[in-house]
Structure 1
Amino acid sequence: MTHADPTSIAGKRFPLRDSFTHVVIGAGEAGIAAARAAAASGERALLVDEHPLDPGLFGLDIPYLFGGRLDASTRQAARMEERIVAARPGLLQAMEEGVEVAIGTAAWGAFVKGPSSRALPVRMLGLADRDAAWLVGFERMTIATGARDVALPFPGWTLPGVMGAQGFDAALRLYGAFSGRRIAIIGGGALAQQAEAAARGTGLDVALRVAAPAPLRILGREEVTGLAWQQDGAWREAACDTVVLAVDTVPMVELPDLLGCAIGWDPAHGGFAPVVDAQGRSSLDGIAVRGEAAGTAAAQRAAWLDLALAADEALVCACEEVSAADLRALRPPRYLAAEGPEAGLARLGPPNQDQVKRLTRAGMGACQGRRCRESVHALLSRERPAPLASHRAPLRPLPLSVLAALEEDPALRANWTGWFGIAAQWLPHWEPAPPDAEYIGGRLSGGDVVK
């Protein structure tokens, strides 16, 4: 006998706030150009950008490594919106040409028909601002989310005052809210040169730039007070209140990966990058990737990461307190009081970052792996590049107050117990759950172990 699965999405309604022919994610130069081109061709276009951010995300270093160096002006939402529009004059042109623009709005997910979602009625984009989350339908999408920072886990890298090049640029150019005064820059390529030029152009004191890979120590107890680096066998120090990590950036591949676009390892374009043709078209019909989201400059981080990860005590995942030694030994979280396999990573077989995440919790913290992905990948890629760590929705942290405002079909809401680990999840869908059932360690209260 065939039983219908009530937890399936087949036949369920997904309330959409609106529908668009073309949605563009990211309002940098590439995104604005794509949105204007879509509107000019007669498409109904929506341009979305997550800036200005909810101030709470700055502390989580999402989407950039902000390092606690933005001042209190970022809490003034209206002023920040004015700053974003002033920094990106193309936004006004796009609006005048018929593009619908939503700033301060993050894309937390996108969903298309695929092997595990054949019953999805239409292509959907999940959006959220500070107050609510909602869904919109779309036919085509251009992803122009840009690049994110690469952290280097040298001693002291988690101190307030350690920023990435993208976070530093956003603090200066987008928000006009940088609170540091004297900076040190790490990196020898164009990214570091741009950061130095921007700093000097705004009157900041640049203490030094460490261009060649070298052992580093970031000094300070409560926040950054200086930088120490090794040169000619001796340690040198310089006072500063901010350290800008400007060795590399990597394409933001969260959304393309979530959608199912092909992603390849391409060090010439920053590392993992979407596979696109000359027009930016991805492997998924109707999905394009443009700008730095499709590829950045050639990766230069390998030598720096080798130096940073050489010490066993290097703190790779700050959110979950996972060290380089923990990862090499595949050591479970400390609260389990257990050891990893005798041979550590060598016992794992072909390296897989998702598996290592489950075993050690590296990458499972509030930053969603943005601060440690490259370090973990480097540790797993000693013989050959490890595969990409997968991405799942929501791609941005969403407060419960925002999720609660998401309009939902009552038929979907009725099956929350099948999705959120409540007792009935562990019963076949054709069996009713006991009244007031409680899931405790593999058992339904009052019943047998659920097979």
Structure 2
Amino acid sequence: MQASDPAALDGKLPAPESHVQVLVVGAGPAGLTAATELARNGVSVMLIDENPLDPHLVGLDVPLFFGGRAGSAVQNQARMVEQIVASDPAYEAAFEAGVDVGLGVTCWGVYLPGPASRALPGPVAALTDGARSWTVGFDRLLIAAGARDFVAFFDGADQPGVMGAQAFAALTDRYDAFDGRRLLVYGSGELGVRTAQRALDLGLEVAALVDVTDEPRAAPASINALRAKGVAIRTGVTVTAAARGALGVTSATLADRNGVTETFACDTICLALGRIPSIELFDSAGIEIVLEAGLGGYVPRSADGISTSSPLVFGLGDCIGVSEDLPSRADIEDEARRAAAIVMASLDGSPAVIGARTVPAQDQLAYRRHVIERMLESGGHEVLACQCEDVTRGDLAGIRPPRYLGCPASTGNRRDLKSHAAEGPLNHDQMKRLTRVSMGACQGRRCREQVALLMAIYGGMPSAAVPLAGYRPPVRPLPLSVLATMAETRAMADEWPVWFGIPTQWIPYGAIGTPEEDAMLATHMHL
């Protein structure tokens, strides 16, 4: 029998702080309804939601593209909790059903049993409230993490006032903390129409609704209703620039295919170009991910729209696929009850009537690529592709090293995306390493999709040819001080000096060359 490694973690990890039958991540309408339904059927349920967000995350545009338009109210966490609970009566129903609700709690990692996780005491989720981190064990995990905004940059998009429609909805409906007065909405689909109408209902001004397509993408009746309220409708145009002011955006410049420009005064440019399923937890946990253009991009593989490749993990709502049509609250709740039934059947070991998943035929990737191509035509190559790392479209196309390294000594071997594509598929993770694109604190939430499309365009490849840039935990940016609060046993701490297999790196300087060094090596180091 092979001797066990005394430095291994097997049997040394502490037990999770708690254990539930079902952990639900995401307390939007879908997560609330599913959690309440499960609890009413006698299942122990923990429901967590990262809202209210730490204000620092809002500033980093995590998890949504807030674009500097969150008011100072987000600094008051207690008020935000009250605001969130008051925004949806379903919270009260969840409390009454016995759901253990944790607001302001983020799930930053999911760890499932497998070859690389044998030391775990079972399936666990890593959580944080911004002050500390801990783990919770679960029998089943239901992820209802929602969707984020598809972002496309133009000149001036890196200043306050350029934001996403999903973020606008969160700041207005959930937080009551939107800091703007006059919007231009970029995107004429149902998402754009709903965004413009939401703004008007709140007493805000909507200067225009614009799109690159020749005709509005939403139903004519919806477009005409906005036009009747004084909203200018412009099609066949793209946003080329946002004028800079002391507090951010002051106007938006549009250009048509002939170069004719038009300017609208506004303090906010709201991108309503599409929604991206939030699959970070699925992918980082090893769930099988596939590209479905009709479901908004990369999504968990699912036969029924709920189940995934792991029998322990389920998905619900926008995070498992979005369509261009926005579902009603009633439809969301019906789907949530179906998800609860599937999860309960899984717990019981009984078969569930699940039905087959229907994937819409619409190609959402084609529209997004059209947007990026038009913005390239009108805005050129020196517009930012990655705001965090100051990487331009031209930097990406030329695979230029990070600017802070200075110019390379020799450019004789310089490659570009087109030459790389001629030799094989392009890889987003490789571009991260070569240019630092998508490597910033926002973890690619501002640029991930537009960078992938730029790579495909510059490389002359189909959009689907660029694989997903992988996610790793933590799926939210966390201070090391928070991660350091994770519980560890004495048996774990005793063996930390052998990390990386370099014993002497942990010898105190004053002990080097003394008998104390020999004693430490003999006692603590396993060579």
TM-score where L is the length of structure 2: 0.78
Contact 1:149 1:248 in 2 (8 A): yes
Contact 2:124 2:138 in 1 (8 A): yes
1:228 maps to 253
1:441 maps to none
Q: Distance in 2 between matches of 1:366 and 1:340?
A: 32
2:507 maps to 435
Verify: 1:332 aligned to 2:407, yes or no. no
1:307 maps to 374
AA at the equivalent of 1:183: L
Residue 239 of structure 1, aligned match among 238, 248, 265 = 265
Verify: 1:408 aligned to 2:488, yes or no. yes
> Alpha carbon RMSD of aligned pairs, Å?
2.1
Structure 1 residues 219, 433: CA separation in 2 closer, same or farther (over 3 Å shift)?
closer
**Could you say what secondary structure the match of 2:56 adopts?**
helix
Contact 1:109 1:394 in 2 (8 A): yes
Verify: 1:64 aligned to 2:64, yes or no. yes
**Could you say what secondary structure the match of 1:303 adopts?**
helix
| Distance apart, 1:256 and its partner CA | 0.6
Greater Cα shift, 137-146 or 230-239: 230-239
Residue 319 of structure 1, aligned match among 388, 391, 401 = 388
**Could you say what secondary structure the match of 2:141 adopts?**
strand
| Distance apart, 1:114 and its partner CA | 2.3
The superposition leaves residues 154-213 of structure 1 with CA deviations (integer Å, 9 ceiling, x where unpaired) of: 111111011101110011000001110011100010110110010000000111111335
After TM superposition, list the pairs within 5 Å mapping 1:10-25 onto structure 2.
10-25=10-25
Contact 1:330 1:341 in 2 (8 A): no
Contact 1:25 1:47 in 2 (8 A): yes
**Could you say what secondary structure the match of 1:47 adopts?**
strand
Contact 1:15 1:409 in 2 (8 A): no
1:219 maps to 243
Contact 1:332 1:340 in 2 (8 A): no
Q: Distance in 2 between matches of 1:224 and 1:329?
A: 30
Contact 1:308 1:314 in 2 (8 A): no
Q: Distance in 1 between matches of 2:142 and 2:211?
A: 35
**Could you say what secondary structure the match of 1:379 adopts?**
helix
After TM superposition, list the pairs within 5 Å mapping 1:254-293 onto structure 2.
254-278=280-304, 280-293=306-319
**Could you say what secondary structure the match of 2:249 adopts?**
coil
Q: Distance in 1 between matches of 2:120 and 2:412?
A: 41
Q: Distance in 2 between matches of 1:98 and 1:238?
A: 51
Greater Cα shift, 2-11 or 381-390: 2-11
1:342 maps to 414
| Distance apart, 1:433 and its partner CA | 4.6
| Distance apart, 1:335 and its partner CA | 2.8
Structure 1 residues 417, 37: CA separation in 2 closer, same or farther (over 3 Å shift)?
farther
Unpaired runs of at least 5, structure 1: 419-423, 439-451
Contact 2:277 2:296 in 1 (8 A): yes
Q: Distance in 1 between matches of 2:399 and 2:96?
A: 55
Greater Cα shift, 404-413 or 271-280: 404-413
Q: Distance in 2 between matches of 1:5 and 1:128?
A: 31
Q: How many residues align?
A: 430
Q: Distance in 2 between matches of 1:341 and 1:376?
A: 23
2:335 maps to none
Contact 1:35 1:94 in 2 (8 A): yes
1:252 maps to 278
Query: After TM superposition, what 4+ stretches of structure 1 lie above 6 angstroms from structure 2?
Result: none
Structure 1 residues 124, 309: CA separation in 2 closer, same or farther (over 3 Å shift)?
farther
| Distance apart, 1:381 and its partner CA | 2.6
| Distance apart, 1:361 and its partner CA | 0.7
**Could you say what secondary structure the match of 2:252 adopts?**
strand
Residue 364 of structure 1, aligned match among 418, 435, 439 = 439
After TM superposition, list the pairs within 5 Å mapping 1:413-428 onto structure 2.
413-416=493-496, 425=500, 427=502
1:114 maps to 114
Structure 1 residues 45, 407: CA separation in 2 closer, same or farther (over 3 Å shift)?
same
1:46 maps to 46
| Distance apart, 1:437 and its partner CA | 7.1
Pick the structure with more helix per residue.
2
Q: Distance in 2 between matches of 1:321 and 1:252?
A: 24
TM-score where L is the length of structure 1: 0.90
Q: Distance in 2 between matches of 1:350 and 1:14?
A: 43
| Distance apart, 1:347 and its partner CA | 2.5
Greater Cα shift, 197-206 or 294-303: 294-303
AA at the equivalent of 1:363: S
Verify: 1:199 aligned to 2:199, yes or no. yes
The superposition leaves residues 359-388 of structure 1 with CA deviations (integer Å, 9 ceiling, x where unpaired) of: 111111110111110011112334132111
Structure 1 residues 118, 130: CA separation in 2 closer, same or farther (over 3 Å shift)?
closer
| Distance apart, 1:394 and its partner CA | 0.8
**Could you say what secondary structure the match of 1:301 adopts?**
helix
AA at the equivalent of 2:452: H
The superposition leaves residues 377-423 of structure 1 with CA deviations (integer Å, 9 ceiling, x where unpaired) of: 112334132111111111112223422332222333445566xxxxx
1:31 maps to 31
Greater Cα shift, 332-341 or 48-57: 332-341
**Could you say what secondary structure the match of 1:358 adopts?**
helix
Verify: 1:395 aligned to 2:475, yes or no. yes
1:135 maps to 135
Q: Distance in 1 between matches of 2:454 and 2:2?
A: 48
Structure 1 residues 327, 3: CA separation in 2 closer, same or farther (over 3 Å shift)?
farther
Structure 1 residues 412, 369: CA separation in 2 closer, same or farther (over 3 Å shift)?
farther
Q: Distance in 2 between matches of 1:107 and 1:173?
A: 23
Contact 2:26 2:50 in 1 (8 A): yes
Q: Distance in 2 between matches of 1:38 and 1:100?
A: 12
